[in-house]
A and B are shown apart, each in its own frame.
Chain A
Amino acid sequence: MKRLATAFALATALALGTQAAPADTLATVKQRGELICGANGTLAGFGMPDPQGNWTGFDVDFCRAIAAAIFNDPQKVKFVPLTAKDRFTALQSGEIDVLSRNTTWTLSRDTSLGLDFPAITYFDGQGFMVRKALKVSSALELNDASVCVQQGTTSELNLADYFRSNHMSLKTVTFATGEEALKAYESGRCDSYTTDSSGLYGERQELSEPSQHIVLPEIISKEPLSPVVRQGDNQWTDIVRWTHFVMIDAEELGINKGNVDAKLKSDDPETRRLLGVEGQYGEALGLTNDWAYRIIKHIGNYGESFERNIGQGSPLKIVRGLNALWTKGGLQYGPPVR
């Protein structure tokens, strides 16, 4: 009987052992010597390889920032390309340490998957593209317009909601794929084309004359994109969250890749705390005190990463919009390091 009980306990332990992913992610990562990051692989500007096979993008740089904070080496990341379907399983099973793959934070994902969304790194939302010749400057002027949209997406539902709540009449023209919808828009079937605004900028480049089309300022849905970690490892969640926040804070304080060494000698107490000259803030996270310095030295601040990958320094030319600092009319706000 006792043996049976032992066997049962062992079996249970085994079964649970297979379920529970490593609890102390930071220790696992340090021991392994590299961070494993789930990424997209096919999304321009956010996560995709360059012709030499190096990963680049906004989401990719976020993972590199975490690696820089831990190892002082942004190359110590292994990227695992994931599809939209298997991304959460990969995280739950412990195959990856952090998921940084343009993932929208919603209540159901936060509660039912055993996952946590530490910080919103990019405020996305659905937008509209129109021809310049249409002389429209706001989505509210699109009354009676025909809009090309991909079938069966939330974009289609948001579109109908938006027009109804603004008492405008709408002619939806739907297509099985986004590509078809875009082609139809280009050939003049519709006055406007709609999808997530981060995608709009990339797809505009596929048109024969991108400069003849503009993206309207209205964002009609909320798609807050966040990295994702497993629930229950609070230290790891904090590291991921604060990696984002220090990049915001650095931008606010005017610290960038170029001047970060000079800023080490700054008298400004906020700068000194952020860069680890004063206080033991990095050690509180289980890292070294110069962790934020490493991030900025290797990756740069939030604005630099943004402009380099998706902003004016890239072919996508996405405007900061909601992702500007809170001091400049956006929503990006980093709590203080103190």
Chain B
Amino acid sequence: MSAISDQAYLRVLPAQKLPPPAERTGIFNWLRENLLSSPTNIVLTFLCILLFAWAVPPLIRFFLIDAVWSGTDRDACLASPAQMHPGACWAFVRVWVSYFVYGFYPLAERWRVDLFFVALTLGIVWLARLSTPRRDLGALYFFVGLPILSFILLHGAPLIGLPVVPTSLWGGILVTVVVATIGMVFSLPLGILLALGRNSEMPVMKLAAVGFIEFVRGVPLITVLFMASVMLPLFVPEQFAPDKLVRALIGVALFASAYMAEVVRGGLAAVPRGQYEAARALGLTYWRMMGLVILPQALRVTLPNIVNTFIGLFKDTTLVFVVGVFDFLRTVEAARADPKWTTPNTTVTGYAFAALFYFVCCYGMSRYARSVEAHLTRAGRR
């Protein structure tokens, strides 16, 4: 028996990889496989393209091509021989944008609001970017320094020469951001405590947590805000009644925390029992067990839901108008009644601007959550 050497030809190196057949690659193949793979798919693709062609070009034409970008009053946005079918009236938004941002905040003091926005952005970036240094300091800044700074900046401190700006003058994006931020910052810790309370073995804690959560979830937010604005002043003397914005803030924060509690509870339930038992077996106290073992796992699981709640909360801030606080959406609604600017397109443009703002904010939150999720998944795999 001869060995391999008897063979006339022996291939030692692996053959070079051939490119896949032409019909399996390229844009046409991608199209065929993904868009035209079956009769149903063909019909659906065709319908989607039709829908797209029907809906998108008019929107682009209205909001961009035919839009009016500058002008001093409504005449600019009305049909004229030069422009028979004017589109969105962005000139209106440009004139009113400072009101959308600051509300009635006094003109001379608006730099304080700008500074607040900068300080807030700094805090968010510091805390939210996973790669920034000293995030422990960032947390201290965000949860202790920033609230004090914001209060001094926005409300004022006559001692250091900042005149007081009562909250009745706050408005627009400022109010929306303040309400949403405070709601988020308070609802997460409160929600975690409530969730732990609900899972607690202490009957009083459990009853209190369940009672609170179920009560809050059983009542519409708008009802609570309405009660706070209409009933509260009748029971409490005017000088002791909390500020209107504070009422709204408390209402929104408590509401969000009840929903947050249920979200966190879902996460707690997803952590296997063995983890609790193992932590106990190591001799960890309740708080250390929760803080070191259970909550990190639970919060990771529920992160998408937490962000979902935040996004819901951000949009719920529009309800604060029932206590007479002019949030962003309300300022847009107020401005659209301006007779100097009422045209057939003013209202549409105003609402489109509002939609754009809310979309950018909510989509930003959602993207951020996705990236953190991806990061945590990678970390979890190691």
Contacts and interface: CB of A to CB of B under 8 A. Distances in A.
A179 B348 CA distance: 12
B238 A179 contact: no
B230 interface: yes
Given A41-B334, A53-B107, A78-B166, A205 B237 contact: no
A206 B340 CA distance: 10
A51 B79 contact: no
Interface string B294-338: 000000000000000000000000000111101000100111011
B234 A92 contact: yes
B342 interface: yes
Contacts of B107: 52-53
B51 to A, nearest CB: 24
Contact of B344 (A52, A206, A316): A206
A84 to B, nearest CB: 11
B334 A49 contact: yes
Given A80-B324, A85-B230, A202-B339, A48 B334 contact: yes
B62 to A, nearest CB: 14
B342 A205 contact: yes
A312 interface: no
Interface stretch (B9-17, B96-104, B141-149, B267-275): B96-104
A51 B99 contact: yes
A17 interface: yes
A49 B99 contact: yes
A94 interface: yes
Interface in A1-24: 17-19, 21
A206 B346 contact: yes
Contacts, number: 112
A95 interface: yes
For the residues of A in contact with B, the DSSP-based class is loop
A316 B322 CA distance: 28
A303 interface: no
Given A78-B166, A80-B324, A315 B340 contact: yes
A42 B326 CA distance: 10
A81 B234 contact: no
B344 A208 contact: yes
A18 B236 CA distance: 6
Contact of A179 (B106, B241, B330, B347): B347
A89 interface: yes
A188 to B, nearest CB: 14
Contacts of A169: none
Interface string A35-78: 00000011111001111110100000000000000000000001
Residue of A17, A79, A205, A208 with highest tally of chain B CB at under 10 A = A205
A53 B102 contact: yes
B343 interface: yes
Given A17-B237, A78-B168, A86-B230, A52 B99 contact: yes
Q: For this complex, into which size category does the number of interface residues on chain B fall?
A: 35 or more
A51 B98 contact: yes
B235 A43 contact: no
A196 B285 CA distance: 69
Given A53-B103, A95-B238, A44 B230 contact: no
B222 to A, nearest CB: 11
Contacts of A203: 342
B339 A41 contact: no
A53 B234 contact: no
Contact of B229 (A21, A86, A205): A86
Nearest to B333: A42
A81 B339 contact: no
B105 interface: yes
A310 to B, nearest CB: 9
A89 B230 contact: yes
A44 B338 contact: yes
A179 B347 CA distance: 10
B252 interface: no
A50 B342 CA distance: 14
A115 to B, nearest CB: 14
Contacts of B73: 315
B78 interface: yes
A89 B235 CA distance: 11
Contacts of B334: 41-42, 48-49
A83 interface: yes
B326 A41 contact: yes
Contacts of A79: 104, 168
A272 B326 CA distance: 44
B339 A53 contact: no
Given A51-B98, A206-B342, A316-B339, A83 B324 contact: yes
B233 interface: yes
A82 interface: yes
A53 B171 contact: yes
Contact of A93 (B79, B98, B169, B238): B238
A44 B238 contact: no
A18 B99 contact: no
A219 interface: no
B354 to A, nearest CB: 15
Residue of A45, A51, A82, A85 with highest tally of chain B CB at under 10 A = A51
B105 A94 contact: no
B234 A89 contact: yes
Given A42-B330, A50-B99, 10 more contacts: A41-B334, A49-B335, A51-B96, A53-B99, A85-B230, A90-B324, A93-B234, A93-B241, A206-B346, A208-B79
28 contacts: A18-B237, A21-B238, A42-B337, A44-B338, A49-B335, A51-B335, A52-B98, A53-B99, A53-B102, A53-B103, A53-B106, A83-B322, A83-B324, A85-B226, A86-B229, A90-B233, A92-B234, A93-B238, A93-B241, A179-B347, A202-B342, A205-B74, A205-B343, A206-B344, A206-B346, A314-B339, A315-B73, A315-B342
Interface of B: 73-74, 78-79, 95-96, 98-99, 102-107, 166, 168-169, 171, 226, 229-230, 233-238, 241, 321-324, 326, 330, 333-335, 337-340, 342-344, 346-347
